[in-house]
Amino acid sequence: MMEDAAKPTAMETLLATLDLEPIEVDIFRGRSPQVGWQRVFGGQVIGQALMAAQRTIETERFVHSLHAYFMRPGDPSVPIVYQVERIRDGSSFNTRRVVAIQHGKAIFALSCSFQVEEPGFDHQIVMPDVPIPERLLGEQQIKEQYLAHAPAAVRKYWEREPPIEIRPVSLTHYFSDKKLDPRQDVWVRATGPVPDNRLYQAAVLAYLSDMTLLDTSLYAHGTSIFDQGLQVASLDHSMWFHRPDKLEDWLLYTQDSPSAFGARGLTRGSLFTRSGVLIASVAQEGLIRKKANE
């Protein structure tokens, strides 16, 4: 009983994963939670690389954009070394480049920019009108009503304890091969407290920004990332941080996929607070390739 009580929550595990170990000037070591995955979740590498860059920035300057490339699958069984290059330190902006290394090879590269907060023009698009999360099925209801007859890959995804809870506005995509419009709306929230610290808030937001995006590009094709006949992987990921948020409540992640071609799918996303404030925008291209018949 005492061991169960001492076991960290999924969010505590995520925060520990983002708390990188400094091993030399501008060099950090990150570890992966041992959850049985064959490769490191892309959002984890984005969040860790961003945290490494943030650790080299003076206070009162915050990330406003990042652009990243995934080059090799991450191995969750060994640490990831993050090397930060200080590209520029200006009067208003700072630029950093981060390379993630495993087994002597680069697996991921990120460029990010930081800015002193200053006043300026202010406008945003309107949040879509969708049902609030309390009117949607929760994870336990999804497990009870749908998972008993769902494919094994779907069950494995929904049955794990996550640091981020998701509530899709529609579940049709997960249990049907019907071709749908390439767009979706998903409510997301942290399953535990996020520190009142802008660095951790940005890193957690970057982490969750990689969730569900790639799947949206498959809506129009009547399949999903759980299809064992597909090879799917994130190729690149860009994110713009518009306004700060403490991640204390649900966020609406509205997504659309304007194109799929050449075994690649592009998806765009917008993250809104429950009250309709746009806090971040995302764009990602991913590999969506049919596996060769064996």
Question: Is the pLDDT at 28 greater than 70, yes or no?
Answer: yes
Q: Is 234 a catalytic residue?
A: yes
Q: pLDDT band at residue 59, thresholds of 50, 70 and 90?
A: confident
Identify which of 119, 240, 225, 250 has the alpha carbon closest to the alpha carbon of residue 173. 225
CA distances from 201 to 15, 22, 157, 250, 288 (A): 10, 20, 24, 14, 30
Output the pTM of the full model.
0.92
The active-site residue, picked from 209, 234, 255, 281, is: 234
The active-site residue, picked from 32, 185, 210, 257, is: 210
% of the chain exceeding 70 in pLDDT: 90
The lowest-confidence range among 126-130, 171-175, 275-279, 287-291 is 171-175
Amino acid identity, position 271: L
Per-residue pLDDT, 147: 63
Q: Is 26 a catalytic residue?
A: no
Q: Give the strands of the sheet with 251-261, arranged side by side.
A: 21-24, 27-30, 80-89, 93-102, 105-116, 61-70, 230-241, 278-290, 264-273, 251-261, 183-190, 164-168
